[in-house]
Amino acid sequence: MAVEVSGGGPDRWSLDDSLEELASLARTADVQVVGRMKQRLERPSRTYLGSGKLKDLMALRGEVGYNVVILDDELSPRQQRNLEDALDVKVIDRTALILDIFAKRAQTHEGKLQVELAQNQYLLPRLAGQWSHLERLGGGVGTRGPGEMQLESDRRLVERRIQRLKKELAEVRKHRALYRRNRKRSGIPVVALVGYTNAGKSTLLNTLSGAEVLVEDKLFATLDPTTRRLRLPDGQTVLLTDTVGFIHKLPPTVVAAFRATLEELEEADLLLHVVDITHKNAAEQCQTVEDILAELGLEQKPRLTLLNKVDLLGPAMPGADELEERLQISQEGMLLVSASQGIGLDQLLQRISETLVAPGS
């Protein structure tokens, strides 16, 4: 279910495209998509949807028999609870769906810590929904019972877990900082791969370095960062690191929880922004990544933009001027490559060498 709110701020993504991506996320989470709906609203209601669209959604259940509803935006705890009461099915939003996928994909201890922190931060304001039966007791004296005490107990448990996870991740950050300091002393430059999820970063890492990172045609196929040594044509050695893929409407809780991982981008000497040029939303995906990098304060970081999967375009390959206009990237800063077929990678390695040469050397 996708909703467009009037006055909600500029968004380059159309409702249909955002809804299609939500369906891809759902399939990645092994959810069968049986129907889609969209709506434009002046402002979200108490159930987030308008009354007419809510009735349509209730009627649709009789037609397709859905047992879960996924919203394309993050719901407030009250909106989620009201919608579940009205539909009598489980309701989740885009944030919960992404966190579920992350939980399945995380393999390392650090990755699991980061995902669990984000999940608990998401859960904390929604605990009251787990005890919605309390509302039926009414207010006033004599209504404070085991359920309400359980709610307070659960809240304290989650808060303590959040603090414990933050402490553990703080230790991870210390170790990472120590590793980066040692790495900096060694003088080995760091080249970081960034890009939209499923743009081909892991394939590029595998092809360039001989790594064996999982590659699947799914969103967030890999979550945990991987670093490999890479020798450039001029004999220089660099560390090539892959990071978590970005996505439209990336939840702030995820960005915050993955701070330790994303700090690797701050320390990188060069960013390689990988773009799936075959995707119909390549321009929107490219700008989404640029927006997130700007939020992280990395907009001035040296980078090359790699237009990946050019082998799949054939005669449909756009000209350089058209690409520059579509992606708002100078031709000097972009390279055409195919990570799977090795196209343009020699030129890429040469450009990395040239970019990493210190001024005056």
> CB-based contacts of 87: which residues, under 8 Å, 6+ apart?
57, 58, 61, 69
In a domain, 235, yes or no: yes
Give pLDDT, residue 133.
41
How confident is the model at residue 314, as a pLDDT?
Answer: 74
Q: DSSP label at 245?
A: P
Residue for token pair 């009251």? 128
Residue 7 pLDDT level (bands cut at 50, 70, 90): very low
Specify whether 236 is located in the same domain as 347.
yes
Q: How far is CA 77 from the centre of its chain?
A: 21
What pLDDT sits at residue 213? 54
Q: Kindly state whether residues 61 and 167 are assigned to the same domain.
A: no
Q: Is residue 320 a part of any domain in this protein?
A: yes
337 in any annotated domain: yes
For the segment 247-273, the average pLDDT, to the nearest whole number, is 81
Q: What is the predicted pLDDT for the residue at 136?
A: 39
Residues 256 and 206 grouped into a single domain = yes
Collect all residues with Cβ–Cβ distance below 8 Å to 327 and sequence separation of at least 6.
275, 282, 283, 286, 305, 307, 334
**DSSP states of 277-341:** TTSTTHHHHHHHHHHHHHHTT-TTS-EEEEEE-GGGTGGGPPPHHHHHHHHT--GGGEEE-BTTT
pLDDT at 177: 78
Whether residues 80 and 112 fall in one domain? no
Encode pLDDT of 90-110 as tens digits. 999 999 999 998 888 887 788
Among the listed ranges 54-63, 81-90, 125-134, 165-174, which one has the minimum average pLDDT value?
125-134
Give residue 143's pLDDT band: very low, low, confident or very high (50, 70, 90): very low
pLDDT digits (tens, 9 = 90+) for 289-309: 998 898 888 988 999 999 999
pLDDT of residue 217: 58
Cβ-proximal residues to 187 (8 Å cutoff; 6+ apart), any chain: none
Q: Considering the entire predicted model, what is its pTM?
A: 0.82
Whether residues 336 and 198 share a domain: the answer is yes
Number of structural domains in the chain: 3
Q: Is there a domain that residue 138 lies in?
A: no
State the DSSP code for 127: G
Question: Measured at the alpha carbon of residue 278, what is the angle toward residues 329 and 270, in degrees to the nearest 5?
Answer: 40
Kindly state whether residues 183 and 261 are assigned to the same domain. no
How far is the C-alpha of 229 from the C-alpha of 159, rounded, in Å? 40
Residue 272: helix, strand or coil by DSSP? strand
In the prediction, which pLDDT does 108 show?
79
CATH number at residue 58: 3.40.50.11060
Q: Range of 50's domain?
A: 2-104
Mean pLDDT across the chain: 82
Q: Is residue 136 part of a domain?
A: no
CB-based contacts of 33: which residues, under 8 Å, 6+ apart? 23, 26, 27
Least confident of 105-109, 118-122, 236-240, 336-340: 105-109
Q: Are residues 202 and 349 in the same domain?
A: yes
Check residue 165 and give its pLDDT. Answer: 93
| One domain, residues 153 and 214 | no
Q: Do the Cβ atoms of 147 and 138 come closer than 8 Å?
A: no
pLDDT of residue 54 exceeding 80, the answer is yes
Question: Quick one: average pLDDT of 117-138?
Answer: 67
* CATH at 238: 3.40.50.300
More confident residue, 307 or 148: 307
Please, which pLDDT band fits residue 166 given cuts at 50, 70 and 90? Answer: very high
Residue 137 maps to a domain:
no
DSSP 246: B
| Burial class of residue 81, CB neighbours in 10 A (0-12, 13-18, 19+) | buried
Q: Pairing between strand 237-242 and 190-195?
A: parallel
207 and 348, same domain (yes or no): yes
177 with 261, same domain: the answer is no
Residues 277 and 305 in one domain: yes
Q: How does residue 12 score in pLDDT terms, banded at 50, 70 and 90?
A: confident
Domain membership of residue 140 (yes or no) is: no
Confidence at 129, pLDDT banded by 50, 70, 90: low
- The answer to whether residues 331 and 192 belong to one domain is yes
Instruction: Answer whether residue 308 is part of any domain.
Output: yes
Confidence of residue 173 (pLDDT cuts 50, 70, 90): confident
